[in-house]
C-alpha cells in the first residue's frame, strides 16, 4: 500500500505580476509504506518545495496528494498541523532543538500538541522510549549544548519518533555533520526503516548519502529525472 | 453530506474533551518558557512590578492625603456650632420664614451710619475691671482672648443642661457638649496661672478634632455623673503650672480653694493652631460641668457646643437648633432670641469687628454661610474628585507603561524564538496553541508582576509613612485594584505578540536564522 501518492503536483510562487517561479511542474510520485526513499537534486531543483508539501507544511498550487490514503492537498492550517503531529516526523539539517530544554523535554515536544495529549508521566515514558530507540537514554537530562552534533541529531530523530508517526521526513539530515557522524545518522534511519517498517523520505544533494536509501529519485527543474531502486542497500549499514 | 454531520458532532465532542488539556498544556508550556529565560522574565517582572508598586503606593498615599484633609477640615471646626446664652443683639436677625427673606442689615450702610452706630454703642462696654485701660494684668484679658463681641456673651442664665439634652436629638447633630466658662486662678504648689476654666462634657474631645491627649486621659462620663473634682489641663496651662512638657497626671491643683486631681493634658494636633497663651483651648483647664454647677451652686450653662454630622449641614442644623430653643424658651414670633447661635463662618467674619458691625454682618451670615459652606463642601468634594481622577490617570499611565514593557519583551521574545515557534508548528502546534502559549506567558507575567508590585508598593507606602511622616492608608481594595491592573496589563500586552506568533508561516519561521 502506498504511504504517499502524488499526482501532477504543481507549485508556483508568484513573486510579482511578471515574475513567477515554477518550483514543481507536474510531479508524480508514489512511495510505498516501509520504503526508504532519497530525493536527490541540486539547489533549485524543487526538492525543498516537495519536502514542504509532502510534510504538509505547504499546499500545492494544483495536483493531488494522498498521505496514508487520505487526501491532504487542500487541508487548512490547523488540519495540516494535526496531520504533521500524528503522521509525520521531521528531521532538519540544523537539528532545531530548543536550546534551553533538556534532551528529554525536546523529545516530549510533539506530545504537547494534537489530539491525544498524554499526561506528564506518559509523556516522560514515551520520550524515554524514543531516546532509547536512538540509543541516547544516558543523555536524557543533557542540554543540546552538552551534546555532540551527531547526538543532537539523534535527539531530533527521537523527537520525530515521539508520536509514532508512519512517515519520517529528513531534510539534509547529514548536512551539518562530518562524514563519520553522518553515516551514524544514516544507519539510524536505515535501522528504523528496516526494524520498524517506518517510511523514510530523505532529501539530499549528496549522491553518496542518497545511496543509503533503498530507492532514489532525482529531481531537475521541478520534475523527476530518474527513479531507481538501489540494489546494494543491504550492504550500507555494515559499511 | 450525510457524512459531515457525525464528523462535526465528533469534532465538537472531541474539542470539549480536549479543552482542559489544551489549557493545561498552554500553562505548562508558558511556565517552562518563562523558566528557561530567567533573566528576561525577572526584568519584565520587575518593570511591571515597579509600575504596580507605584500605583499601589500612590493609591495609599492619595487615600491617606484625603483622610488627612478631611481631618484637618474637621479640626478647623467647620462643622462646629456654638450656642451661647444671652443675645447682645437688640432684635433677632434671624430672617423670619427662613432662607428667602434677605437680612435686614444686609444692605450697605448709609454714609456715616457706621460712625453713628459706634458712638451709640460706646456706653455698652461695661465697667468690668478687666476693661479698665489703666489696670495692669498678669494675664490676657477676656477681651484680648475672646474679642470684644464675645467677651460679654454667656452672662445670661438662659441655657440649661436640659436644653443640651434636647439639642442632642436634633437630626444632623453629631455631638453635644455643655459648657460653663469661668476665669479662674489655678494654683499648683507655688505657681499660679490665671486662665479659663471650661466646665464641659466628655463629648468635647470628639468635637475638638484638634485635641490629642499628650498625657493621661479626658475625664470620664462616670466622673461627670459624680461631679468629681478632676481637671484636664491645656498644654499652655500645664507649661505655666508644671513646666514645659512635664507630665502632671496624678498631681493636684487648687481652684476656688478646692483640690482638683489632674487626669490629663491636651495638646493641639492642628498645625494651624498649635496653642498659645491667651487662646481659649490650650490656655485653659477642663472639668466636668457638673462639678462647676455643684461648686458654684448654679444650674445654667454659658454655652452649648454642637457638631453637625457634616459641614454641609451646619446651616440647616443651626436653624433647627434655633427653632428648638425658641420653642423651649417660649419666645414669641416678634421677640428676640435669648441665646446666640454662632457658626464657624459667622465667628470668622465677626472676629475683631465692633459688635454692631459684626451684628450687621451677622445679618447676612445665613445667606453667606449657605453659599460658603455649600461652596466649601463642593470644593472639598471637587478636590477629592480631582484626587480620584489623578489616581485614575496614574493608574492608566502605569498600565500603559507596564503594557508597553511586557508587549516589547513579548514581541522581542517572539522574534527571538521565531525558530522555536516554527518548530512547534512543524511538530503539530496549531495557531491556537501558539497564540495561547504567548498570551498565557504574558498573563502569567502580569499576575506575578501584580503580586510582586502589590507587596513592594505596600512596603514602600509603609516606608514613606514612617520616614516622611505622610499619611498612608493601605487598603485591600487598593491591593486588589493594583493586581487587577497588572493582570489586565498582561492580557492587553500579550494579545499582539500572541497574534504575531500564531500567524507565522512555519516554513518561513523554520528557515529564519
Which residue out of A81, A92, A107, A124 would a mutagenesis test of the B interface target, given it has the greatest number of B Cβ atoms within 10 Å? A81
Condensed to tens digits (0 to 9), the pLDDT of residues B14-58 reads 544 455 566 667 787 888 888 888 888 888 888 788 888 888 887
B382: nearest Cα among B64, B56, B69, B78: B69
Does the structure show a pLDDT above 70 at B74? Answer: no
pTM given for the model: 0.60
B178, B182, B184, B188: CA torsion to nearest 10: 0
d(CA A128, CA A141): 11
Q: CB B428 to CB A98 under 8 A? A: no
Chain B: which residues have CB within 8 Å of chain A? 14, 18, 21-22, 25, 28-29, 32, 36-37, 419-420, 422-433, 506-507, 510
d(CA B282, CA B237): 7
Domain extent for A38: 2-238
d(CA A191, CA B8): 40
Percentage of chain B with pLDDT > 90? Answer: 6
Which residue would you say has higher pLDDT here, B319 or B399? B319
- Supply the DSSP symbol for B95: P
Does the structure show a pLDDT above 70 at B120? Answer: no
Condensed to tens digits (0 to 9), the pLDDT of residues B416-457 reads 889 999 999 999 999 989 999 899 999 998 999 899 999 998
The model's confidence at residue B272, banded by pLDDT at 50, 70 and 90, is low
DSSP code string of B25-93: HHHHHHHHHHHHSHHHHHHHHHHHHHHHHHHHHHHHHHHHHHHHHHHHHHHTTTTEEEEEES--SSS--
Condensed to tens digits (0 to 9), the pLDDT of residues B139-153 reads 655 555 544 444 444
Give the model's pLDDT for residue B157.
Answer: 66
How close A239 gets to chain B, by Cα (Å)?
33
Region B214-241 average pLDDT: 85
The model's confidence at residue B96, banded by pLDDT at 50, 70 and 90, is very low
The model's confidence at residue B384, banded by pLDDT at 50, 70 and 90, is low
Most confident of A65-69, B52-56, B70-74: A65-69
Condensed to tens digits (0 to 9), the pLDDT of residues A145-160 reads 999 999 999 999 999 9
Contacts of B18 in chain A (CB under 8 A): 115, 117
Give the model's pLDDT for residue A237.
Answer: 44
Give the model's pLDDT for residue B11.
Answer: 57
Kindly state the cell numbers that stand for B23: 489549557
Number of cross-chain residue pairs from A and B with Cβ atoms under 8 Å apart: 67
Does the structure show a pLDDT above 90 at A88? Answer: yes
Let me know how long chain B is.
513
Which residue would you say has higher pLDDT here, A129 or B134? A129
d(CA B488, CA B494): 10
Residue entry with cell 483647664: B285
Contacts of B28 in chain A (CB under 8 A): 112
Which of B36, B427, B431 is the closest to A84 by Cβ? B427
Number of domains chain A is built from: 1
Does the structure show a pLDDT above 70 at B352? Answer: no
Most confident of B66-80, B243-257, B313-327, B496-510: B496-510
Which residue would you say has higher pLDDT here, B417 or A38? A38
Helix and strand totals (H; E) in chain A: 7, 10
Which of B419, B420, B427 is the closest to A113 by Cβ? B427
* Other Cβ atoms closer than 10 A to B358: 23
Q: What are phi and psi of B94, to 5 degrees?
A: -60, 120
Q: CB B37 to CB A100 under 8 A? A: yes
Condensed to tens digits (0 to 9), the pLDDT of residues A160-172 reads 999 999 999 999 9
Does the structure show a pLDDT above 80 at A17? Answer: yes
The nearest alpha carbon in chain B to A82 belongs to B428
- Computed over its alpha carbons, how large is the radius of gyration of chain B? 35
Distances (CA, A) of B254 to B141, B193, B232, B234, B260: 21, 11, 13, 15, 6
Give the model's pLDDT for residue B280.
Answer: 78
- Supply the DSSP symbol for B302: S
Does the structure show a pLDDT above 80 at B270? Answer: no
The nearest alpha carbon in chain B to A89 belongs to B427
Does the structure show a pLDDT above 80 at B360? Answer: no
Give the model's pLDDT for residue A171.
Answer: 93
Give the model's pLDDT for residue B378.
Answer: 59
How close B6 gets to chain A, by Cα (Å)?
17
Percentage of chain B with pLDDT > 70? Answer: 67
Q: CB A117 to CB B25 under 8 A? A: yes
Kindly state the cell numbers that stand for A24: 514543481
Region B478-501 average pLDDT: 88
Give the model's pLDDT for residue A191.
Answer: 93
The model's confidence at residue B116, banded by pLDDT at 50, 70 and 90, is low
A27: nearest Cα among A55, A51, A57: A51
The model's confidence at residue B160, banded by pLDDT at 50, 70 and 90, is confident
DSSP code string of B215-234: EE-PPPHHHHHTT--EEEEE
Domain range annotation of chain B: 20-72+383-511, 178-307
Region A117-145 average pLDDT: 91
d(CA B242, CA A235): 115
State chain B's mean pLDDT as an integer: 74
Which residue would you say has higher pLDDT here, A192 or B326? A192
Region A54-76 average pLDDT: 93
Give the model's pLDDT for residue B8.
Answer: 54
Amino acid at each position: 500500500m502506498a504511504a504517499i501518492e502524488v499526482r501532477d503536483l504543481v507549485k508556483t510562487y508568484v513573486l510579482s505580476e511578471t515574475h513567477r517561479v515554477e518550483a514543481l511542474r507536474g510531479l508524480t510520485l508514489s512511495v510505498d509504506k516501509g520504503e526508504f526513499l532519497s530525493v536527490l537534486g541540486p539547489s533549485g531543483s524543487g526538492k525543498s518545495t516537495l519536502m514542504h508539501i509532502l510534510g504538509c507544511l505547504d499546499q500545492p498550487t494544483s495536483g493531488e496528494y494522498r498521505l496514508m490514503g487520505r487526501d491532504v492537498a487542500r487541508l487548512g492550517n490547523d488540519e495540516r498541523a494535526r496531520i504533521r503531529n500524528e503522521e509525520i516526523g521531521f528531521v532538519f539539517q540544523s537539528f532545531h532543538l530548543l536550546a534551553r530544554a533538556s534532551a528529554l523535554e525536546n523529545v516530549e515536544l510533539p506530545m504537547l500538541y494534537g489530539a491525544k495529549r498524554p499526561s506528564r508521566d506518559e509523556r516522560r515514558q514515551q520520550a524515554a522510549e524514543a531516546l532509547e530507540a536512538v540509543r541516547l537514554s544516558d543523555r536524557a537530562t543533557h542540554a543540546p549544548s552538552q551534546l555532540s552534533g551527531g547526538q543532537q541529531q539523534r535527539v531530533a530523530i527521537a523527537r520525530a519518533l515521539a508520536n509514532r508517526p508512519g512517515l519520517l521526513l529528513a531534510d539534509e539530515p547529514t548536512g551539518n555533520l562530518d562524514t563519520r557522524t553522518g553515516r551514524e545518522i544514516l544507519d539510524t534511519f536505515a535501522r528504523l526503516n528496516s526494524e520498524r517498517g517506518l517510511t523514510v523520505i530523505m532529501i539530499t544533494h549528496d549522491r553518496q548519502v542518497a545511496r543509503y536509501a533503498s530507492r532514489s529519485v532525482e529531481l531537475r527543474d521541478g520534475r523527476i529525472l530518474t527513479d531507481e531502486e538501489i540494489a546494494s542497500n543491504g550492504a550500507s549499514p555494515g559499511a | 453530506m450525510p457524512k459531515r454531520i457525525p464528523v462535526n458532532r465528533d469534532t465538537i465532542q472531541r474539542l470539549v474533551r480536549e479543552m482542559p488539556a489544551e489549557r493545561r498544556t498552554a500553562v505548562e508550556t508558558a511556565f517552562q518558557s518563562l523558566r528557561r529565560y530567567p533573566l528576561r522574565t525577572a526584568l519584565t517582572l520587575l518593570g511591571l512590578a515597579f509600575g504596580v508598586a507605584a500605583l499601589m503606593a500612590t493609591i495609599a498615599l492619595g487615600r491617606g492625603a484625603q483622610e488627612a484633609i478631611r481631618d484637618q477640615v474637621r479640626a478647623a471646626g467647620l462643622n462646629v456650632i456654638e450656642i451661647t446664652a444671652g443675645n447682645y443683639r437688640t432684635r433677632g436677625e434671624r430672617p423670619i420664614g427662613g432662607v428667602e427673606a434677605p437680612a435686614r442689615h444686609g444692605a450697605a450702610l448709609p454714609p456715616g451710619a457706621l460712625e453713628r452706630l459706634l458712638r451709640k454703642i460706646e456706653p455698652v462696654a461695661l465697667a468690668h475691671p478687666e476693661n479698665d485701660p489703666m489696670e495692669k494684668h498678669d494675664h490676657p484679658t477676656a477681651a484680648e482672648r475672646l474679642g470684644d463681641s464675645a467677651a460679654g456673651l454667656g452672662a445670661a442664665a438662659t441655657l440649661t443642661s436640659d436644653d443640651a439634652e434636647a439639642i442632642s436629638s436634633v437630626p444632623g447633630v453629631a455631638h453635644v457638649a455643655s459648657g460653663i466658662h469661668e476665669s479662674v486662678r489655678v494654683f499648683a504648689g507655688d505657681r499660679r496661672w490665671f486662665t479659663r476654666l471650661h466646665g464641659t462634657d466628655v463629648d468635647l474631645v470628639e468635637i475638638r478634632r484638634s485635641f490629642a491627649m499628650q498625657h493621661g486621659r479626658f475625664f470620664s462620663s462616670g466622673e461627670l455623673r459624680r461631679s468629681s473634682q478632676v481637671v484636664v489641663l491645656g498644654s499652655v496651662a500645664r507649661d505655666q503650672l508644671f513646666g514645659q512638657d512635664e507630665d502632671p497626671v496624678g498631681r493636684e491643683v487648687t481652684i476656688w480653694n478646692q483640690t482638683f486631681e489632674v487626669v490629663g493634658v491636651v495638646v493641639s494636633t492642628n498645625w494651624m493652631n498649635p496653642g498659645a497663651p491667651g487662646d481659649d483651648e490650650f490656655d485653659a483647664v477642663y472639668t466636668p460641668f457638673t462639678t462647676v454647677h455643684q461648686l458654684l451652686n448654679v444650674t445654667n450653662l454659658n454655652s452649648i457646643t454642637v457638631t453637625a454630622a457634616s459641614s454641609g449641614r451646619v446651616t440647616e442644623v443651626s436653624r433647627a437648633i434655633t427653632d428648638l430653643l425658641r420653642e423651649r424658651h417660649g419666645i414669641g414670633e416678634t421677640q428676640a432670641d435669648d441665646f446666640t447661635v454662632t457658626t464657624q463662618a459667622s465667628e470668622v467674619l465677626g472676629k475683631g469687628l465692633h459688635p454692631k458691625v459684626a451684628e450687621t454682618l451677622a445679618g447676612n451670615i445665613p445667606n453667606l454661610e449657605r453659599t460658603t459652606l455649600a461652596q466649601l463642601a463642593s470644593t472639598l468634594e471637587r478636590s477629592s474628585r480631582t484626587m480620584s481622577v489623578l489616581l485614575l490617570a496614574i493608574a492608566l499611565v502605569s498600565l500603559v507603561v507596564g503594557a508597553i514593557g511586557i508587549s516589547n519583551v513579548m514581541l522581542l521574545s517572539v522574534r527571538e524564538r521565531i525558530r522555536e515557534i516554527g518548530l512547534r508548528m512543524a511538530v503539530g502546534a496549531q495557531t491556537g496553541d501558539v497564540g495561547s502559549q504567548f498570551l498565557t506567558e504574558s498573563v502569567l507575567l502580569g499576575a506575578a508582576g501584580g503580586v510582586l508590585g502589590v507587596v513592594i508598593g505596600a512596603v514602600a507606602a509603609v516606608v514613606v509613612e514612617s520616614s516622611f511622616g505622610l499619611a498612608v492608608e493601605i487598603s485591600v481594595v487598593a491591593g486588589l485594584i493594583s493586581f487587577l491592573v497588572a493582570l489586565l496589563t498582561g492580557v492587553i500586552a500579550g494579545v499582539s505578540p500572541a497574534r504575531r506568533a500564531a500567524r507565522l508561516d512555519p516554513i518561513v519561521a523554520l528557515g529564519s536564522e
